Structure 1
Amino acid sequence: MSEAVVIEAARQGDEAEWRRLWAGYNAFYEAQVAPHVTARTWQRILDPASPVLGRVARWDGKLAGFSISVLHEGTWVTTPACYLEDLFVDPACRGQGIGRRLIADLVRLGREEGWSRLYWHTRQDNPARRLYDTFVQADDFVRYRMDL
């Protein structure tokens, strides 16, 4: 794992590189996100009052990956929960421990901030599950999703 990897909050000047990575993430999931939604996501990442938390991985000064999470209240807990919604590492930068560091960063932040839990979901056949399983085993819940 390269020591040149730094995980930190996204900054205004990161937008172009983040958009490049965001496009790669959406291509991986074969998703189409409307330009106005992407713009609003970036605005929320930069807004300190937003529950959307954007973290970036810099490797030798360039953006190599990101995580986007949403902090929210829960009915079974008294402190915020963190949903890791998006995690992506540039394919050219994989194998350097960047994904692991992005998740570890959220674990650290959560412990410091007193979050109740960190959770995420992914496709069953996602190769990144090998990494995810080193943090915690998948549970037996099934996801239902209804677009409105």
Structure 2
Amino acid sequence: MSEVIIRAIEARDVVQVAAMVHELAAHEEMPEHCHLKPEQLLGVLFGERPALFGIVAELDGEVGGFALYFLNFSTWHGVHGIYAEDVYIRPALRGRGVARQIWGHLAQLALDNGYTRVECVTLRSNTLGMDVHLALGAEPRDDWRVLRWEAESLRALAASTRAGSRGPGAS
């Protein structure tokens, strides 16, 4: 049996990873919400100021899984953490320990860089994902709720302010 390799994402992987993002959206029964294009992913991963990072799971030269992540920051601890935005493994690689390898790789990246945590959000309906995360030692944080502004609520919030500067670091 061949060995799965976990490695940093490369530009040559972007088309496959973008396709898997769409597979993930279909798996979560929300394909109409996924609009990612490979060129967008290429820009945020490899542009002038990358803000997104990724790793892939490769078997026999084929990419069959990925994790896309970015850094968050704990003001209480004063250090970064890793926030895994999406982790997906194609069915052909499931049941081979690939999830453990991907999450373990992210954990090692966090430790190597002095970060204090790795986080993700899992849909309540994704019971398989939740079971995997819990089996790997993830601790549910039921005391916190994810809140989000998007679409109309995002536009309304922006329109309600008169800030002169908008963007990272603006107050």
Tell me if both proteins adopt one fold, taking TM over 0.5 as the criterion.
Answer: yes
Report the identity percentage. Answer: 23
What is the match of residue 168 of structure 2?
A: none
Kindly indicate whether the alpha-carbon contact (under 8 Å) linking 1:80 and 1:116 is maintained by their aligned counterparts in 2: yes
Number of residue pairs aligned between Structure 1 and Structure 2:
146
- Larger Rg over CA atoms: 2
Kindly indicate whether the alpha-carbon contact (under 8 Å) linking 1:81 and 1:116 is maintained by their aligned counterparts in 2: yes
Q: Structure 2 unaligned runs (5+)? A: 155-171
Q: Does the residue aligned with 2:79 lie in a helix, a strand or coil?
A: coil
Moved more, 107-116 or 69-78: 69-78
Kindly indicate whether the alpha-carbon contact (under 8 Å) linking 1:78 and 1:116 is maintained by their aligned counterparts in 2: no
TM-score, with normalisation over the residues of structure 1?
0.87
Q: Label 1:106 to 1:3 Cα distance change in 2 as closer, same or farther (>3 A).
A: farther
1:79-106 per-position Cα deviation (integer Å, ceiling 9, x unaligned): 1121111000012221111111111100
Q: Does the residue aligned with 1:42 lie in a helix, a strand or coil?
A: helix
Q: Deviation of residue 40 (structure 1)?
A: 2.1
What is the match of residue 3 of structure 2?
A: 4
Where relative contact order (Cα < 8 A, 6+ residues apart) is larger, the structure is: 1
Q: Does the residue aligned with 1:55 lie in a helix, a strand or coil?
A: strand
Q: Structure 1 unaligned runs (5+)? A: none
Q: Does the residue aligned with 1:4 lie in a helix, a strand or coil?
A: coil
TM-score, with normalisation over the residues of structure 2?
0.77
What's the Cα RMSD here? 1.9
Kindly indicate whether the alpha-carbon contact (under 8 Å) linking 2:83 and 2:120 is maintained by their aligned counterparts in 1: yes
Q: Label 1:91 to 1:48 Cα distance change in 2 as closer, same or farther (>3 A).
A: farther
